[in-house]
Structure 1
């Protein structure tokens, strides 16, 4: 008696290959960015709420940001102008703009390390692109920066005459007598270069926040380490002192070595492309070239990190 053939079940069919893109794909990485840009109302609202929450029940609210910036600039600008023998009319705006942009850069770095950690609840339960939290952090810092611009406007109104007057700083800084051209050509339409400079700094703030946020989500020792290094970089960056004080050193001397180390400081170049046009100083295109190179390298690293680890951040936080 012939045995009937068993019916072939669906389970015996070869399983179709999963056509879904791999979690580690450039398509998903760039899709994350596109979705976050499209949801700008969400991260824009979250950024506003961060500031409102921080100053809730305060009488003057976010104006404390401006007051704090004004007090810091006035105190340190007045003190160090006397210590370094600098004219307060040009040194006060120099320090003010330096603090303005340094606060923005350092906040992107420091708060960038906490971006995903601070948004743990939203990341776990809200199906949203990771870049939303990056945009939220940088947008919040832009709002803080906008409050600090008020201080620069006031300082500019007070010291406009001194800033607008071109001169060489030979009578202020010894050893600069042989430098060609004007170290301080005065304010002009070149001040508008501060706008693209700030845009470039914001673009860098995005990759810094993204890259450091991913690394810090995996390794929780990174935030305190970065905080310690940022304190060191503050003292090494010409914010309350000028690089003119380092000029004139003999080759191989300590002064010459410190001058070269100052030029290797990446924060120095970003600060100069923004500060120099706003305080009437000569602009060096070398700073733009270095800042542009750092932007390309930084975004390359950040995109690689987003491609490889975006799906793991929810587990790390």
Structure 2
């Protein structure tokens, strides 16, 4: 029974990847619909993010007594990426619920709806990423070739976000109170992960708990470190890769077990 469920889940995921053009079209349509009749469009989010980065950077930079050339790019890369992570996970909670009409009317792979929300958030992330080179320009800091390593880092982050969104979409379709809990947990993780504070500001004993044992720190590092001219550690890559393997094993189990009930739950 378990093998049958796993094969069904895997077949759905593979079929959805073959329908990537459909997911891409739906994602673009979502972004266009959300900012319809807006002169600036999704760049409103970029403007808002830029103002927030500038405000927090000035205040916390002085609190931590960190040079702006070090702290502002660190903060910008972290906040831009965290915007992608938190939005994808939060929207993943309602991934199937929001697609109720399509799920009940069209026989398309269910994972298409997960790809759709990930692509939508990746588009917005691309808009926000424009802020980072502007921050580097403002502090007079160059962008070196190490920045290219952020591309495989982002790919691995998206692989992790896909299984997270898939599991949450299944569970939240059944338990409608869970999205609020997930949003609260993400808010706590935002403060526990070095986004607004520098890792070296922690005492050594705290680094074990808030850095080494925090999977979100490793996910952030494989993208942020190359943009700051550094290379992620082997531990960053190992934890992020291991998280993807274990997470996808869990996602296939959960999705396969409850896939047939999703249409009734939504």
TM-score of the two chains, using structure 1 as the length reference: 0.80
* Cα distance, 1:34–1:281 mapped onto 2, change above 3 Å: closer
Q: CA deviation at 1:22?
A: 10
1:297 pairs, out of 242, 246, 257, with 246
Summarize deviations over 1:103-162 as a string: whole Å, max 9, x none.
11111111111100111111111111101101001001110110011101211222243x
Q: CA deviation at 1:30?
A: 2.1
Q: How does 1:52-201 map to 2 (within 5 A)?
A: 52-161=32-141, 188-201=144-157
Summarize deviations over 1:62-88 as a string: whole Å, max 9, x none.
111211111111111111111100000
| Aligned 8 A contact 1:116 1:217 in 2 | yes
| 1:234 corresponding residue in structure 2 | 190
Q: CA deviation at 1:24?
A: 4.4
| Aligned 8 A contact 2:2 2:257 in 1 | no
Structure having the higher Rg: 1
Distance 1:73 1:154 in 2: 12
Distance 1:234 1:215 in 2: 23
Which has the larger share of helix?
A: 2
Distance 1:34 1:261 in 2: 37
Secondary structure at the counterpart of residue 107 of structure 1 = helix
| Aligned 8 A contact 1:193 1:274 in 2 | yes
* Cα distance, 1:201–1:22 mapped onto 2, change above 3 Å: closer
Q: CA deviation at 1:282?
A: 5.3
2:166 pairs, out of 203, 210, 232, with 210
Q: CA deviation at 1:307?
A: 1.4
Summarize deviations over 1:289-312 as a string: whole Å, max 9, x none.
111111111000001112111111
Matched, 1:275 2:224: yes
| Aligned 8 A contact 1:24 1:309 in 2 | no
Q: CA deviation at 1:25?
A: 3.2
| Aligned 8 A contact 1:24 1:308 in 2 | no
| 2:209 corresponding residue in structure 1 | 261
| 2:21 corresponding residue in structure 1 | 41
Instruction: Name the count of aligned residue pairs.
Output: 265
| Aligned 8 A contact 1:47 1:136 in 2 | yes
Secondary structure at the counterpart of residue 96 of structure 2 = helix
Q: What's the Cα RMSD here?
A: 1.8
| Aligned 8 A contact 2:218 2:237 in 1 | yes
Q: CA deviation at 1:23?
A: 10
